[in-house]
Structure formats: C-alpha cells, structure tokens
Structure 1
Amino acid sequence: MPTSADRLRAAARQLADIHNGLRADLDRLRSGEALPARLADHCLAFCAALTAHHTGEDTLAFPYLDDASPDLKPTLDRLRREHSVVADRIRELRALSAADPRALRDRLDTLAAELDEHFRYEEAMLIPAIEALP
C-alpha cells in the first residue's frame, strides 16, 4: 500500500505537467482562441481549474510537507502567500469577466506573468524536496 510520501512523490512527478497544462490553457485564453463572447466562460473555467489545483496543494500536499520537511517552511510560506495573491487575481477576473473584456485580457496578461514565476519557483523548490522524502 502506498504511503503518503509515495503518493506525494507521484504527484510531484506530475506537477510540471499540471503546471504546463495550466500555462497552455492560459495561453489559449489570452491568444483569443476563445471567442470574445465566450471569453468570460473560458476564463471562469480556467480560474476554477487553477483554484482546485492550489486548494489541493494547500490542503493536502503542504500540510504533509510541513510535518515531513520542516526545512521547507520558508518555501511553503511563500507559496501559500502566492496562492493568496492568485486567489485575489481570480476574484478580480471573475468581476471583470462580465463587465470589461478589455480589462479582463489585460489582467490575464498580468496573471500569466505571475503564475509563470510561481510555477517555476514551486517546481524548482518542491520537486527535488519531495523526491528526497524517505
């Protein structure tokens, strides 16, 4: 039977793929592949997927890592703060999705830059640490 560490290692192997999928979704959204009339719907779907991803990290992976790797505390604290910022951005996007498509596209550009930095940091710091778990 797999241990919690085994499950977390398996998830870590998929983390970059999940992030790449979210990046691709956001790129498609920003490129206009979503019809302008449907931009809000596509944006809300992307926001829901991103929220689910971060909720899973915050409620499942990070608490385990808090106990298993206390040395990761500064990393996990930073990631939690960044998750809070992303959640604020998502609330902004939801508010804009019905009101201002041009502002929505601008905010998507900002979110893309912030998420890319967040994902890179998370992958660089967490994947090696998780793979080294006993």
Structure 2
Amino acid sequence: MPTTTNAPRPREVRTLADKLLEVHDWLREQLGHLRAEAAAHLAARAAHQGPGEPPAPGLGLQIRQRCLEFCDALAFHHTGEDEHVFPAVLEHHPDLREPLARLAVEHREAARLKDRVLALLDDVATTGPQEFLTEFDTLAELLTAHLDHEEGWLVPVLADVPFPPGPPS
C-alpha cells in the first residue's frame, strides 16, 4: 500500500499566483518540520532517565538553526510582498486597498510573534522547549490563517501575471 505524506506536490510555476502558492506550501511544510523536531526534542528530554548524558537542556543547535533560517525566509517573503507585490496589485486593483492593508497588518503581527520566538532562541542552552512550542504554535496558527486569507485575495488577482516576468513591452 502506498504511503501518503502531507508534503505539497511540486507545482509548475507559470504565474505569480503559482509562485505565491509554491512559497506558501514551503512555509507550511517548514512549520510542520520545525514543530515536529521541537516536539521530538521535548519528548526525548522527558523520556530520559538513568545514567548517561541527557539530551541537551535547550532546544538544540539544529532546531535553532532551522528556525532562524525559517524566520529569515518568512521576513524576506513578507517584505517582498509589502514592498513589491502589494503596491503592484494596488496599482491595478485599487478596490483591494482594504484587504491589502489587512494583509500588511497580518505581516506585522507575524513579525512580532516571529521576534518573540527568536528571543527564546537567543540562549539556546536555556530555552525551554515547552515555552518554545507554545510560542511557536501561536506563530504557526496565525501564519497558517494568514496564508489562507492571503491566498483567497491574491491568487485570483495574480493568476494572470506570468512568472517569471518577461521583459517590459
């Protein structure tokens, strides 16, 4: 029997909407991987009994590095949308001013939560995995809802925009 995964299928990227969905799929996938790694680390710490070296008391360098990379990618993505995509959409669809403003507010809220998660990672040796999981879950919940909301507004608008863009006509 074939196994199934929650991994998104690779998609052919022909439009800016396709590219947006590809990036959003990657962000969702990374959220799942990071959550699973942090939860596994927490479980290993809780299960350790007896002699020998226990798992590292903090979150572990690998989890920290992956989380930092994810947070950098998220910031890059949202900055690109705020500075390039949203203004271009607004130029052609002024009727979307309010939804785009709401999406920008959601970007700022995600950045605030991302900064809280990053603050927990400042001291990898003492960050409590349970505290990290709580903050990470808050970020993941907000980000997942944001991605869904953003796709509802932007995918139809970006579906006619070729990607990569061709030379100006």
Superposition TM-score tier, normalisation by shorter sequence: 0.7 to 0.9
Q: How many residues align?
A: 125
Deviations along 1:75-119, whole A, 9 cap, x unmatched?
A: 100000000001111111111113423212211111111111100
Q: Which has the larger radius of gyration?
A: 2
Alignment partners' CA distance in 1, 2:70 and 2:128? 16
Contact kept in structure 2, 1:54 and 1:83, CA below 8 Å: yes
Contact kept in structure 2, 1:40 and 1:98, CA below 8 Å: no
| Counterparts of residues 18-97 of structure 1 (less than 5 Å) | 18-32=23-37, 36-38=59-61, 39-97=63-121
Question: Percent identity over the alignment?
Answer: 36
Aligned to 1:55, the other structure's residue is in SS state helix
Aligned match of 1:123: 151
The letter for the 1-side match of 2:75 is T
Contact kept in structure 2, 1:58 and 1:80, CA below 8 Å: yes
Q: Report the RMSD for the aligned CA atoms in angstroms.
A: 1.9
Which structure shows the higher helix fraction?
1
- TM (norm. structure 1) is 0.84
Aligned match of 1:107: 135
**C-alpha displacement of 1:132:** 5.6
